[in-house]
Structure 1
Amino acid sequence: MDNFKNLDNQYRRYKAHVSIFGTTQFHLRNPYIIAWWSAAFPGFGHILLNKYLRGLALFMWEVFVNHQAKINLAMVHSFSGHIELAKESLISRWTLMYIPVYLFAIWDSYRTTVDMNKLYLLAERENAPINSFTIGALEINYLDKRNPVMSVFWSIFMPGLGQLYIHRIISAFFSLTWSIIFLYFSHLLEAVQLLFFGEIKRATEVLDKQWLLYMPSIWGFAIYEAYVNTVESNKLFENEQQNFLKKNYQNSQFRVKKGKVVG
């Protein structure tokens, strides 16, 4: 670790950093997909970019202002064809506050993705060394290959478990905490239990629609984020291993010319 820290002033950009809280890395992302996640739920796009503080600020803003404006409740009424009821549900003084920050989250995540893609290409060209192993009093983390299917599998059971599987502690804590909050206030599990007993009407009545509509977003995001980061972590592991083998085992006279190996 000390040897790696001494490299800080030698290289301008790094592709990744392995810490006890997870692996943070640059990789190419589609700006439109990141912007779409910000549109689905402000903050998600920034969390996908590993910008946790900005993402959490936008996420908490979305939950608070959306709840005050009753936007989710109005959406449920709109989906049910009750347009007038949807209009009555909205609280205008909160709704008008909601729009500017919502648009900013989409725009800023798109802009940041474009910038980070450029930085990734520069970092890839510089190919600075990265630490592949870290150990501390609380945790151990290291680059390793994981199965993307298992990340999806555990995320389907509970948002955050897929992130724990690939050692992304911050996003795992975020997903688990907010999933618990949404499940509790939406009464979703209570409704599922009533469905098992065949009490469909009571199951529908017990649901809090305002909180329920957060669930598809957090569940879908957790599955997507766990899968993508598993794939990218596997690529990073292979890249680091490739560089290590080249540096320590490849003959210095090795050359490739016109498709032929010369050594």
Structure 2
Amino acid sequence: MKNFTPTNPMKPAKTVRKYKAHVSALGTTQLHLRNPYIIAWWSAAFPGMGHLLLSKYLRGYALYLWEIIVNSMSYLNYGLVYSFTGNIEIAKEILDHRWLIIYIPVYIFAIWDSYRTAVDLNRTFLLAERENADFNSYVIAGLEINYLDKRRPLNAVLWSLLTPGLGQLYIHRVLTAVFAMGFSIIFMYFSKFLVAVQLLFQGEISQATQVLDPQWFLFMPSHYGFAIYDSYVNTVENNKLFESEQRKYLKENYQQYRVKFPESTSMNGV
């Protein structure tokens, strides 16, 4: 069944097949070109991160939680620490192979699926970019107000350096921000990172090293790196999306009213 425009019932309305962005109270979700190898690399660094970069939130959260649970139960991070320090035999003894064998297939799936999804979304973006359909650029709801705007990528990076998740709040990615801030608290608390920092400032270097829990501390570098990278990339892409939407609006509403200058004549009237 075809849809028809209200002004001209005989003219079918344009059917939008693919939108390239959606602005909601919880954030701005958009399609843009991504390097599939970079997405796969983030999934290798921490399963779930590649999917979160693609805005595949449910799949990303599931893999993220799976990584923390299975990694902790298998003592994988302890094994990595002992392996890197040359204590191979201790690493073999401390690993729980019942959990470690479960870890391997899902880890590989996270890398493969994020790469595959990135390739598919790149194709979808090219189709949506050619269609260039209208999408909502402003929303006001009972909980939040969100709109397209230009932000500074450097500000997003600086806030993410202070606390992971603040950069996402700066660009209004609420779901990722709450997720990143929540796990920042968990990682810092159980790893005793802030206690180690305090001891380090007091000059107690050996005691600061001993107080750290490697199992939880090794989650933090990937978590920090992801928060910084995600906030920077999405700030840049949000700025591009704002310019694209503004350009389209000006062309459709003002370009047809361009001023037409009369033809020039010579001074002698010829």
Does residue 190 of structure 1 match 2:195? yes
Partner of 2:129: 124
Q: Which residue of 2 aligns with 1:96?
A: 101
What percent of counterpart residues are identical? 65
Report the Cα distance in structure 1 between the residues aligned to 2:85 and 2:159, rounded to whole angstroms: 32
1:225 corresponds in structure 2 to 230
Select which of 26, 31, 42 maps to 1:21.
Answer: 26
Q: Quote the Cα distance in structure 2 between the aligned partners of 1:54 and 1:10.
A: 29
Structure 1 residue 42, shift from structure 2 partner: 0.3
Classify the secondary structure of the residue corresponding to 2:256: coil
Shift of the alpha carbon at 1:207? 0.8
User: What amino acid sits opposite 1:98 in the alignment?
Assistant: Y
Which segments of 5 or more consecutive residues in structure 1 lack a partner in the other structure? 1-7, 255-263
Q: Distance in 2 between matches of 1:21 and 1:85?
A: 46
Match runs of 1:1-263 below 5 Å = 10-251=15-256
Query: Deviation string for 1:107-143 (max 9, x for gaps)?
Result: 0000001110000000001110011100001100000
2:140 counterpart letter in structure 1: I
Letter in 1 for 2:129: E
Runs of 4+ residues deviating >6 angstroms: none
- What displacement does 1:180 show? 0.5
Q: CA deviation at 1:252?
A: 7.4
- Deviation (angstroms), 1:10: 2.6
| Partner SS for 2:196 | helix
The one-letter amino acid paired with 1:163 is Q
Paired amino acid for 1:50:
S
Structure 1 residues 253 and 193: alpha-carbon distance in aligned structure 2, compared to 1, 3 A threshold: closer
> 2 CA distance for matches of 1:145 and 1:99?
42
Which residue is 1:4 aligned to? none
Q: Which amino acid aligns with 1:75?
A: L
Partners of 1:24 and 1:191 in 2: CA distance: 38
Name the CA distance, whole Å, in 1 between partners of 2:145 and 2:256: 33
Distance 1:80 1:156 in 2: 28
Q: Residue 260 of structure 1 aligns with which residue?
A: none
> Structure 1 residue 51: deviation in Å?
0.5
Provide the aligned length of Structure 1 versus Structure 2.
247
Letter in 2 for 1:106: I
For residue 85 of structure 1, report the CA deviation from its aligned partner.
Answer: 1.5
2:84 maps to amino acid: F
The whole-number CA distance in structure 2 between the counterparts of 1:84 and 1:157 is: 38
Look up the equivalent residue of 1:143 and give its one-letter code: L
Query: Hey, what's the Cα distance between the residues in 1 that align with 2:192 and 2:258?
Result: 67
What is the letter of the counterpart of residue 231 of structure 1? Answer: V
